[in-house]
Amino acid sequence: MRIRELNIKKINLSEIDRTYPGQDILFKCGELYQFESGIYGYGNLITKMERYVENIIIEELDKVGCIQTKFPILQPREIWDKSKRWDNYTKSSDIMFTLKNNLGEYGLAPTAEECATIFGANRLQSEKNLPACYYQINEKFRKEIRTRGYLFRSRSFKMLDAYSFDKDEEGLKKTYEKVRNAYINIFKRIGIDVIPIAADNGSFGGNKSEEWMAITDIGEDTILYNGKIGLNTEILEKENYEEILKQEHGITDITDMKKYKTIELGHTFMLGTKYSETMDLKYNDSSNKRVPYCMGCYGIGIERIYTAILENSVLKNDDGSIKGLSLPFNIAPYKLQIIYKDTKEKEAFDLYEKLQGIGIPVIIDDREGMIGSKIKDCYVLGTPYMLIIGDKQDIGKYELESTKDEEKKIVTYEELVEILKR
């Protein structure tokens, strides 16, 4: 990619919002655009980060035998009436966007339990077909009254949601643990430290649920955590919270727990037979008896992941002012940013084309201007490495710098490729 083609806007880093600086950098340079409160358009950098995150999720879920699918965003009212959730989502909690015309009444998917249960029941008609787990990465819509933090809480967002089907609770526990381990690997590969904590099931129903939290000062949730186990303080608002903590999470003592601000990145549920019974969708067991599926539900907020990474990747100068971004290598849209003096243009483009030819995502600053100005823009795009081609180096040698720790070294082409591939 050539920066001239990217058309990023020039910004003043001294004017960046201190509460959400990572997102505000992309907002001010044009890579994030707000059409209305809670409704955004994404540029090249975010869409590429999104793809890296999605690929990691897909790889880890495929490893444990989950099957990728896609359910409709536009969902007919009748399937929500079967689960008895239409009134709750359109009136009581008023979460769902709805539309009505001569064809009928519809909702834009805030979640997909109804579609997933119907889809699974159509394929999983016998005990022999179980267990199974279907997942999708798809758009969701919710009527958030209080949007905040740019992409942290928006009205349109992309989500991983998975739904498992088992013949009984024992099978569900095994599947839940399998998907839970996949979650651990997903967040580890992405590079976020998360804490699975005991949580309230809310409108999803079922038994046990866990929220996957990342500790951050800009989080809107409060958890209690002792370094090993944790819980969302919302549970303590329930009259039978002690029973819930003991029976569903094995927590009997919370006196050693401390409060932390967090952001929720995922939520997993043991739904049990809530949807299969309510919607009367069952399978034939070994004695040919009709039995409700025992289900699980598993979600990850895609935007919340890379938003949390953006805010965690902000660099500051010694005086506390915002310097820019340095994104983690594994999800950075471009791994290397080439900056060159005008007299070194041919050498710079030769290197650029060679790196592209071996599959390394690289961006070159082909605009006119001083090297110092181009270096500052490297921190706007968050590229983990910059490579400077000036007059000081011999031909075939380059100055490579890590944007995160400013470590510099002179490298040959072969050494550069080894570093980037490693």
Segment 38-66, tens digit of pLDDT? 999 999 999 999 999 999 999 999 999 99
Q: Is 320 inside a domain boundary?
A: no
Same-domain check for residues 139 and 236 = yes
pLDDT value of residue 412: 93
Residue 230 corresponds to which tokens in the numbers above? 């944790």
367: left (phi over 0), alpha (psi -120 to 50) or beta: beta
Q: Could you tell me the pLDDT band of residue 243, with boundaries at 50, 70 and 90?
A: confident
Q: Is 6 inside a domain boundary?
A: no
% of the chain residues with pLDDT over 70? 98
pLDDT value of residue 307: 92
Q: Is 16 inside a domain boundary?
A: no
Same-domain check for residues 229 and 115 = yes
pLDDT value of residue 224: 92
Kindly report the backbone phi and psi dihedral angles of residue 295, in degrees, each rounded to the nearest multiple of 5, phi listed first.
-115, 160
pLDDT digits (tens, 9 = 90+) for 382-409: 999 999 998 777 788 899 999 999 999 9
pLDDT digits (tens, 9 = 90+) for 270-329: 999 999 999 999 999 999 999 999 999 999 999 999 999 999 999 999 999 999 999 999
Domain total of the chain: 2
pTM, whole model, 2 decimals?
A: 0.91
Same-domain check for residues 275 and 136 = yes
Same-domain check for residues 228 and 343 = no
Same-domain check for residues 346 and 305 = no
pLDDT value of residue 202: 57
CATH number of the domain within which 349 lies: 3.40.50.800
CATH number of the domain within which 45 lies: 3.30.930.10
Q: Is 318 inside a domain boundary?
A: no
Same-domain check for residues 303 and 349 = no
Q: Is 13 inside a domain boundary?
A: no
Same-domain check for residues 295 and 393 = no
Same-domain check for residues 155 and 284 = yes
| Structural domain that includes position 262 | 21-312
Same-domain check for residues 289 and 365 = no
Same-domain check for residues 33 and 102 = yes
pLDDT value of residue 148: 84
Kindly report the backbone phi and psi dihedral angles of residue 124, in degrees, each rounded to the nearest multiple of 5, phi listed first.
-105, 70
pLDDT value of residue 204: 46
Alpha-carbon distance values, 120 to 50, 174, 293, 299, 400 (Å): 28, 18, 10, 17, 52
Same-domain check for residues 61 and 129 = yes
